[in-house]
């Protein structure tokens, strides 16, 4: 298996955490849960096989994608398939970063996956064709980076209140409140929620809950022997029930079930069925 990442040059690095590429991936499971982390993803399939999103309860196919798609800001897990010998390239966008490449409020993409053709028209297919022709991963990264630069819309900076809120929420997702941020930026609570939701894709409260959940699964991954009560308290959950309820909502599993699965990648949890 080949897996590689690339940090794009400025100004793209303001909006993109990394570009990634993998090839020859063969999972030992057919389905997996993808957990929410507050970001968005552009994904380009370099094989011809269709890919699917499944109903989280029945595991029946619900949506089908083939060439390229945009995964919006999710506040719930989705179920996807794994294909043998998969080959994909993608863009891991920072929270709110998608606005630099897509001219619509990000709240319109919440909890959705959209074919890239519907947003970029023929540009999406042209990009995929170029990527398929590129012989090595370095060339693929260069093509993708240049395409993103061409799509860059001279992105207006995030509202100062949104920037401040993001910094505060990332620093203290377990304790910071919307009310405190509102007082610090001098906006009404309603106005802050409005612009944050438009530019990030979900409400400040939901975003903080997702970040707190992410902190919890990282703690579980790094310190498997640590008692759940200590993880819950350290991440800002006020009791075990609160911790378990959030876990079920964002992961579809209890913390114990998640730990038992021992996923290789924290946000991709195998489904054994």
Mean pLDDT (the chain, rounded): 91
For the chain, residues classed under CATH 1.10.10.60 are 160-271
Model-wide pTM > 0.85: yes
CATH architecture of 2-151: Sandwich (2.60)
Mean pLDDT (whole number) for 88-98: 95
Range 59-82 average pLDDT: 96
In CATH terms, is domain 160-271 a member of 3.40.50.300? Answer: no
Q: Above pLDDT 90, what percent of the chain?
A: 67
pLDDT for the residue numbered 226:
58
Q: How far is CA 5 from CA 37, 91, 152, in A?
A: 19, 10, 21
Q: What is the pLDDT of residues 202-237, one digit of tens each?
A: 999 999 999 999 999 988 887 665 567 777 878 878
Say if residue 73's pLDDT is above 80. yes
Of 111 and 24, which is predicted with more confidence?
Answer: 111
Residue with tokens 């309820």: 245
Could you give the 3-state DSSP secondary structure of residue 174? coil
Q: What is the pLDDT of residues 238-271, one digit of tens each?
A: 888 888 999 999 999 998 899 888 888 899 999 9
| The pLDDT of residue 120 is above 90 | yes
Beta-carbon neighbour count of residue 97 at 10 Å?
A: 22
């Amino acid at each position: 298996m080949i897996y590689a990442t690339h940090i794009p040059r400025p100004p793209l690095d303001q909006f993109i955490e990394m570009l990634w590429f993998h090839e020859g991936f063969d999972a030992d499971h057919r389905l997996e849960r993808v957990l929410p982390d507050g970001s968005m993803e552009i994904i380009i399939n370099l094989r011809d096989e269709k890919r699917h999103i499944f109903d989280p309860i029945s595991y029946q196919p619900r949506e089908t994608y083939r060439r390229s798609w945009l995964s919006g800001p999710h506040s719930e897990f989705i179920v996807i398939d794994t294909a043998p010998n998969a080959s994909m390239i993608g863009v891991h966008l920072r929270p709110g970063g998608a606005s630099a490449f897509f001219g619509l409020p990000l709240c319109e993409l919440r909890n959705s996956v959209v074919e890239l053709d519907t947003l970029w028209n023929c540009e999406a297919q042209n990009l995929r064709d170029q990527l398929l022709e590129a012989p090595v991963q370095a060339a693929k990264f260069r093509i993708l980076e240049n395409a993103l630069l061409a799509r860059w819309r001279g992105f207006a900076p995030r509202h100062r209140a949104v920037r401040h809120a993001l910094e505060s929420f990332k620093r203290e997702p377990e304790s910071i409140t919307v009310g405190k941020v509102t007082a610090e930026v001098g906006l009404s609570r309603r106005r802050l929620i409005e612009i944050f939701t438009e530019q990030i894709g979900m409400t400040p409260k939901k975003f903080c809950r997702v970040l707190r959940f992410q902190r919890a699964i990282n703690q579980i991954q790094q310190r498997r022997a640590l008692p759940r009560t200590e993880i819950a308290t350290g991440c800002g959950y006020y009791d075990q029930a609160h911790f378990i309820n959030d876990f079920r909502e964002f992961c579809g599993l209890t913390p114990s079930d998640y730990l038992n699965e021992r996923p290789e990648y924290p946000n991709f949890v195998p489904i054994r069925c």
